[in-house]
Amino acid sequence: MFGKKDSAMSGFASGSTTLLSRSTKIVGDIHFVGNLEIEGVVRGNIIADGDARVRVMEKGLVEGEIVAPKIVINGRVVGDVHSSKHVELAANAVIEGNLHYQFIEMVKGAQVNGNLVYSGHKSASKNTDKKDSSNGVNSSSVESKLESGKGSNESKDKASSLLTSAAVS
């Protein structure tokens, strides 16, 4: 009851929480530690320090880049999103820009109008990050999907055949 709270179980990053309400509009960059929840408008970049989390709520709008370890989006982002740990895209998420991620969860209805760029563990061989010109397959992203063990057997078989055809070409 009065013991330490397990921060991994709470879903929040360590530190305080800042809420930008619907009637709030910020013009300029935000640098923060802890949790930032956006229901209003931010016209500028959002940069997190340490183990931080950004949440763009359903009515929230960010016009600029977001750089944070943990990001949850259920609103609109116009700009690139960079996550070093975990990105969650809820049903009302709309990203107009590139999404750089290590681990991603995406719910039906979420939109990314840009590129999904996997930035997880890098392979020793530089050839694995090159797209095969004949079929446009990025073999490192296909490998990561196969390693994750998620998805249907049909999609795994398709990913495996794409990876094989990329390696053969």
Residues 25, 78: Cα–Cα separation, whole Å: 15
Residue 14 confidence (pLDDT): 60
Q: To the nearest 10°, the Cα dihedral for 152, 153, 157, 159?
A: 20
Residue 23 confidence (pLDDT): 94
Question: pTM to 2 decimals?
Answer: 0.66
Read off the pLDDT of residues 80-123 as tens digits, 9 standing for 90 and up.
Answer: 999 999 999 999 999 999 999 999 999 999 999 999 999 876 54
pLDDT at position 130 over 70: no
Long-range contacts of 77-84 (CB under 8 A, 24+ apart): 79/45, 80/114, 82/119, 84/119
Residues 48-66, mean pLDDT to the nearest whole number: 96
